[in-house]
Amino acid sequence: MRVLGIDCGTECTGYGVVDLDCRDKLGCVSFGGIRLSVREPLPVRLANVFERLTALIQQYQPDRVAIEDVFYSINAKSALKLGQVRGVAMLAASSQKIHVAEYAPLTIKASVVGYGRAEKEQVQLMVARLLCLEEIPQPVDAADALAIAICDLHTHATLSRQSAVVAR
């Protein structure tokens, strides 16, 4: 199974593509960041995110897309812009008929580190370790996107095993 994890941001949207093979071994396929210029109007930035994510989906053919769920922000304007980027990410996936899963930040951290209140650095180190990477993926948004993909793979594998037990 292949998952595209997306860490939505208004200046940089991180992405990470992770595979889970039949032996439950994780593998990093690709990662990076879609950098956005704050000098461009928001509609142009949103179009850029949509086009780049659509191209990544077509290139890597993920089975699923996973994004971080809405979190609460003190700054309403920033939260609204982030919500618009999330909407564009969901549209890019759903327009390609790909299932989109959303995960709360605590769930992602718990899945990757084992503790929902883990520090960002702990998550990044575990992502590198779980994917056998020599360095922490850069930009930081890419490491977060890989964590989101790993969370989805772990969650989906667990749910599949539970369904198999119930079906017996």
| Residues forming the active site | 7, 68, 141
The dihedrals phi and psi of 149, each to the nearest 5 degrees, come to: -65, -45
The region that residue 20 occupies, defined by phi over 0 for left and psi between -120 and 50 for alpha, beta otherwise, is beta
Cα 46 to Cα 113: distance, rounded to the nearest angstrom: 32
Alpha-carbon distance values, 42 to 5, 36, 108, 116, 142 (Å): 23, 10, 28, 32, 22
Residue 73, both tokens: 């922000």
119 burial type by CB count under 10 A (0-12 exposed, 13-18 middle, 19+ buried): exposed
